Structure 1
Amino acid sequence: MSHVCHYCKKEIRDRDELVTASKWLSIRPYHYRCYDLAIQEIETIGNNEKPLNNIPNTVISIVMLVVAVYFLATAALGSVGDLLGVLSLYPIIMRLISYFRYERSLPAFVENKR
């Protein structure tokens, strides 16, 4: 399955050049160069897309998973803790959707990209 860059409308060939970015509930695939250009064009407060498939976001997803399990498995903070547990599942769900929808179907690296 091929994925098309949201910015330049060209095919993304491997995970090495893929950046998936989220803005609220939408996930968009970009080439890493196109993502940099798109971010420079729309740098306004509240109108920025956050990359999903990078190391910091993966670490945040793991931390949020621990927080969600803690609040949902214990009675900490009562119903407020349950609400915090459910809300902390958001970055985990977005990261999983990004992986299964875009990254999994692409090869890790393609030698000849031209």
Structure 2
Amino acid sequence: MTKSIHCDRCLKEIRIKGDLVTATMFFQVVPYHEDCYAKDLKGAKTLLLNNQPINGFSGNFLTLLAIAVFIASFFIDDNSMIYLSVLALIAILYRLYSFFIFERHLEK
């Protein structure tokens, strides 16, 4: 039971997990082919599109860092850690959303 995932730029189907790049646009996670992302979207960092992929190495590293910050915020008694933990939780939720909506439906 696989779901059909289509590139947001070229509208072709993405079949392989290694070809998928997810990024945020207007607070929404959108899928791209790796080539489409590299050609047109990687260099354009705007308010609408973040140029870091959610499911790449940097996205996974930032998610692990966000998990560490989120857990550490429970042990540090500082009011500013509340805001930092909320930002970390947002990064974690974006990564989980990307996995459950797009990545788990594709072949390795």
**Structure 1 length as normaliser, TM-score?**
0.82
For residue 66 of structure 1, the aligned residue among 64, 68, 90 is 68
Identity of aligned residues (%): 30
Name the residue aligned to 1:98: 98
- Aligned-pair distance for 1:27? 0.6
Structure 1 residues 84 and 44 mapped into 2: Cα distance closer, same or farther (>3 Å)?
Answer: closer
Q: Which residue of 2 aligns with 1:46?
A: 47
Give the superposition deviation at 1:83.
Answer: 2.1
1:23 aligned to which of 22, 25, 30: 25
8 A contact 1:7–1:38 mirrored in 2? no
Gaps of 5+ in 2: none
Question: Quick one: distance in 1 between partners of 2:40 and 2:18?
Answer: 18
Quickly say closer, same or farther: Cα 1:75–1:44, change in 2 above 3 A.
closer
The CA RMSD measured in Å over matched residues stands at 1.8
- Secondary structure at the aligned position of 2:102 is classed as helix
Shift in alpha-carbon separation, 1:62–1:33, aligned structure 2, 3 A: same
Match of 1:32 among 34, 37, 46: 34
Runs (4+) of structure 1 moved beyond 2 Å? 42-50
Number of paired residues?
105
Equivalent position of 1:55 in the other structure: 57
Q: Which residue in the other structure is 1:85 paired with?
A: 85
Name the larger-Rg structure. Answer: 1
Change (3 A) 1:64 1:47: same
